[in-house]
Amino acid sequence: MEPAHEPSEDWESKSVKSWMVEYTVKVDEETHRHLSMIQASDISDVHHHLLRELRKMYQTSERVDVTVHRIEPVTTNTDALYFEGIYAP
């Protein structure tokens, strides 16, 4: 008899959410500040996506120094009263 597989358990633990990553890149004495939104399931997945993004943007650079300032999951809890009457369609 084959073991039962419950895909719903794996799905719950691997839910994808948005992460905000703020970092600085120093290349050839120039400093560039970045703010990225990354879709990932956990912090190690965020690191993989960030490395892929850096390799793509700075593929011709010989040395790249990266300082990560902040990595936070994005929440969608907003208070609509802050924007009431300010913006109109």
User: Does the pLDDT of residue 17 top 80, yes or no?
Assistant: yes
pLDDT of residue 80: 67
Neighbours of 49 (CB within 10 A): 16
Please say whether the beta carbons of 54 and 33 come within 8 A: no
- Domain CATH for 57: 3.10.20.10
pTM: 0.68
| Total number of domains in the chain | 1
Q: How far apart are CA 15 and CA 45, in angstroms?
A: 12
Q: What share of the chain is helix, strand, coil (3-state, %, to 5)?
A: 30, 35, 35
Structural domain that includes position 49: 15-74
pLDDT tens sequence across 20-54? 999 999 999 999 999 999 999 999 999 999 999 99
In a domain, 1, yes or no: no
The alpha-carbon radius of gyration of the chain (Å, integer) is 19
In a domain, 83, yes or no: no
